[in-house]
Structure 1
Amino acid sequence: MRVPERVRKSANVLVCLVAVAGTIWGGKEIWQVLSGRHQIDEACAGLVPAGRVLALSPAGGTITHRVADEGTIQMGDLSGGQDCEIFSTGAGEKYGTSSGERWFFTGAVGLVPGDSRVLADDPMKELVDPSGAPTHPAQPLGGGITGLVGDSGVTVQLPCADGESGRETVKGLWARAELANLGRPFSEDGQLSAGDRDTLAEIAVLTANNLADRLGCTERLPDAPRNIAALPAGPTPAADAKGTCGWYGRAGFAKQEQFPDQVLESRTDDRLWDEQCGLLVSTGRATGLYTAGSEAGDHLVRPERPGQWFVSLHTYSGEDAKNVYLTSTDGNETPEPAEPGKAGRSSEDPIWWASSVCDGAPQIHTMTIAYGYDRLMTAKLAEVFRAYVDDVAHRRGCTDVTFPAASAFRAD
């Protein structure tokens, strides 16, 4: 059947219009991608893989970066840590921001050792969500990589004994990739989506390797693992502890009413620069202890929130262990150093430290007790601290363990 000339011409015009529209639309898409890559490269000094950033779920639309010294990576000052901050109109539309765009990604890099102090936990800073919502402690990245997966991103470290960064000492480097202002619709139950979690791990690893190349380091990280599991929720019963708090569950401390009966833990990984075990007193147990303590004449503040009474235990390794300070809750006081090879107590706050040596590298072990709980339990928790240090030292093959004197376990 012959198609009428008029119909054929109309069809040709329609096809041409569709082709032109597709070309215009495709051109716009290509321009946005190229522009986005340029913005990311410019802000992140070419270290962060722009294509992978554009693959993150909030990365739609027009991409821009923060135009300021803070928010763009400056290669001349890596010891203090540098970051780049990326915005998208796609995230802005989803969140309904007035500016039409929203900060959605941060890439960060730095040297080890860095200028920033590593501060032991504050006895006034609680370990869990004060509303009682689940808390998701960071977990080791795995895959043969020294790294941590947190609730908003991934951080990795890489040794570098032969690199150069101007006049700065380079013994290692770190890189972090994270989503900023994480929330719906770009999260799942308060956590990263599975796709974003894998992509952020890939970005962190590639960024670290790019920085290693820039500094002349020999070592490189292997490819990031895939299908990274969601972070388990806590706290969990102490009797079920199997990771960094497994020693506490096995020792049976929680069977005694005065001791913490919940834990906040991660899987163990002896390569990590910071490994933590959090011990928490459940609301019911804390109320009972408060009542008994008040009747005995102790002047205590009633614990009113879940996890308000806690014990936080950390082990800091390698270069980080040389730069640990005991947090001062008094803003007018200078934090005190926790020196390798020594042990003791903060002069002001309920924070203690011990030290050891693992494979020739220093380790600093700290214990922070929440205010109020320290007045009731400091002397008894000395045994808990020793059990923790002994477990880490045995697991990592550490020697030269130095522990605070018995007289140091006092509640001032």
Structure 2
Amino acid sequence: MDDLREAQPDRAPGLLPERGRRRDAVNKLLCVLAVAGIGLSLWAFVQEVVDLRARSESRERITEACGGLVDPDPVLGLNGGGIDRVKLSDEHETDLGERSSGCLVYRVGDPGTTYGHFSLAVLRRSAEPDAEETAEDETTIDEDSDEPFRRPYGDEKSSPGPVVRHALPHPLGDGALGEYDEYKVTARAVCAKGGKVSSIEVSAVAQYDEPVTAEDRRTLAGLARQGADRAADRTGCLADLPELPATLAEPGTEFGSAARTGGTCDWYRRFLTTEERGSLPDRALGAPAGRASAHDACVLAVGEKETRRIYPGFVKTSDYPQTLDDVLKYLPWWVKTETYVGDGTRGLRAEDFEQKTELTPGTAGTDSDRTWWASSVCDGRPAVHVLWVAYPYDRIAADRLEPLFRAYVDDVTERRGCTDVVLPGAKDFARS
């Protein structure tokens, strides 16, 4: 008997102990865990169903509020994705029967909280030359919205220098499709002549506070193009929209040396090879230059070292109230050049101290303050070219502004193949 017992193989180690109290306890624990697991699985399933329903409702809301111009899933996927619940602004709804409309989408967070997420703006311009203008047709160059530098916010951490408002418009490809900056992409359908609509402009905007990633910017570009294409189709606008470019350069807000700049500021680099800089800017901020862009710009600024050099001589002959420290931190000296082509020239105005000056295609002049303009015709479309100078820098560089502006206009019209150029005269640059 003992031999037989010894001959039996060893018992394989098991997951359960021998029968008895310990095994009964384990059985009870496993039963509890099983029930709990089933409960959690059911809860996860229910929650998934709830999320799917919420996402489906959100998709429907976006489609309805944005007029079906954009697919809702890319909208939900912005800012990291994972967004199932949205709220739409009651004050905005896309209506192609209106000259200007759009939608505003909020992300729903914890109960009772909403956060900015996405907006779509649609601008339809009439082909009728005498069509009544609305506020949406106006493009106003003023310090509240167009000045390249902004004042620091009250609770903002102190900066060693002035703060750039945002990147300049970058062309989508050669610019025929539209432009973009850090958080907004605008696509434009230019309609064939003979219809009731001249152009359709659709802007897709990231409304969240976090920096817009390259992936999200690409998504915004796709949404803007899709919206412009669908809006054109529904309004009888015959337009062939270019495809999106393969890459979108990262929009920059850092100034570089004017002697080594390029793109939309390349004209200034070449100007400095034939002219002494003197009191002219030594820093430049530009963007890639697109031959077919409806809007491009270049900003030139006087850096800290040059400001310190120029300031003492200036204050000796001026009652300028700001200190050197104020200039360096809050009120830099700058020059901005811009070109508007096509429907963007409609309602173009310069505004200073609540006084508006119309910058009309086919004319040239000044607002007798800090803005000068020229005009031309580019690919059969009207174009307006603008020089805007900060106060009091317009006094400091007064004797250089006319040749500076002429160099800019000569360059931009040659690059775009523009004709019928009209320039402001010497009297427009004269200072009393």
Please report how far the alpha carbon of residue 159 of structure 1 lies from its aligned counterpart in structure 2 after TM superposition: 1.1
Please report how far the alpha carbon of residue 76 of structure 1 lies from its aligned counterpart in structure 2 after TM superposition: 2.5
Structure 2: state its 5+ residue gaps. 1-13, 17-22, 127-132, 152-158
2:424 alignment partner in structure 1: 404
CA deviations 1:259-284 (Å, max 9, x no partner) are 01111211101211111111111123
2:374 alignment partner in structure 1: 354
Give the whole-Å Cα distance in 1 for the aligned partners of 2:416 and 2:241: 22
CA deviations 1:99-122 (Å, max 9, x no partner) are 421121111111135732122354
2:62 alignment partner in structure 1: 40
Are residues 1:141 and 2:172 paired? yes
Give the whole-Å Cα distance in 1 for the aligned partners of 2:221 and 2:145: 32
Please report how far the alpha carbon of residue 151 of structure 1 lies from its aligned counterpart in structure 2 after TM superposition: 1.5
1:50 alignment partner in structure 2: 72
Rg (Cα) greater in structure = 2
1:83 alignment partner in structure 2: 102
CA deviations 1:254-306 (Å, max 9, x no partner) are 852300111121110121111111111112322332210222x2222432436
1:275 alignment partner in structure 2: 296
Instruction: Decide whether the 8 Å contact of 2:284 with 2:298 is kept in 1.
Output: yes
Match of residue 121, structure 2, among 94, 102, 108: 108
2:3 alignment partner in structure 1: none
Instruction: Decide whether the 8 Å contact of 1:156 with 1:176 is kept in 2.
Output: yes
1:316 alignment partner in structure 2: 340
Q: What does 1:13-412 correspond to in 2, within 5 Å?
A: 16-17=38-39, 19-57=41-79, 60-68=83-91, 71-77=92-98, 79=99, 81-90=100-109, 99-112=112-125, 115=134, 116-122=137-143, 126-130=147-151, 131=159, 132=161, 133=163, 135-142=166-173, 145-161=176-192, 169-180=196-207, 182-183=208-209, 186-187=210-211, 192-225=212-245, 227-252=247-272, 256-295=277-316, 297-302=317-322, 303-305=327-329, 308-325=332-349, 327-331=350-354, 333=355, 335-347=356-368, 349-411=369-431
Kindly provide the amino acid, as one letter, of the partner of residue 26 in structure 1. E
Q: Taking structure 1 as reference, are residues 124 and 112 closer, same or farther at Cα in structure 2, changes over 3 Å only? A: closer
CA deviations 1:303-334 (Å, max 9, x no partner) are 24366211111111112224322x22122x3x
CA deviations 1:194-253 (Å, max 9, x no partner) are 221111111111111121122123324344345533212321110111111101112217
Kindly provide the amino acid, as one letter, of the partner of residue 177 in structure 2. T
Give the whole-Å Cα distance in 1 for the aligned partners of 2:205 and 2:145: 27
Give the whole-Å Cα distance in 1 for the aligned partners of 2:170 and 2:146: 20
Kindly provide the amino acid, as one letter, of the partner of residue 111 in structure 1. R
Give the whole-Å Cα distance in 1 for the aligned partners of 2:304 and 2:310: 10
Give the whole-Å Cα distance in 2 for the aligned partners of 1:196 and 1:136: 16
Instruction: Decide whether the 8 Å contact of 1:198 with 1:226 is kept in 2.
Output: no
Instruction: Decide whether the 8 Å contact of 2:174 with 2:292 is kept in 1.
Output: no
Aligned positions, number: 386
Give the whole-Å Cα distance in 2 for the aligned partners of 1:72 and 1:123: 26
Instruction: Decide whether the 8 Å contact of 1:121 with 1:368 is kept in 2.
Output: no
TM-score normalized by structure 2? 0.80
In structure 1, the residue corresponding to 2:186 is in which secondary structure? strand
Please report how far the alpha carbon of residue 397 of structure 1 lies from its aligned counterpart in structure 2 after TM superposition: 1.2
Give the whole-Å Cα distance in 1 for the aligned partners of 2:43 and 2:335: 63
C-alpha RMSD of matched pairs (Å): 3.0
Give the whole-Å Cα distance in 1 for the aligned partners of 2:140 and 2:213: 30
Instruction: Decide whether the 8 Å contact of 1:111 with 1:174 is kept in 2.
Output: yes
Instruction: Decide whether the 8 Å contact of 1:147 with 1:272 is kept in 2.
Output: yes
Kindly provide the amino acid, as one letter, of the partner of residue 65 in structure 1. L
In structure 2, the residue corresponding to 1:341 is in which secondary structure? coil
Structure 1: state its 5+ residue gaps. none
Please report how far the alpha carbon of residue 21 of structure 1 lies from its aligned counterpart in structure 2 after TM superposition: 3.0
Give the whole-Å Cα distance in 2 for the aligned partners of 1:31 and 1:223: 34
Give the whole-Å Cα distance in 1 for the aligned partners of 2:194 and 2:231: 10
In structure 1, the residue corresponding to 2:421 is in which secondary structure? strand
Moved more, 306-315 or 13-22: 13-22
Give the whole-Å Cα distance in 1 for the aligned partners of 2:235 and 2:268: 42
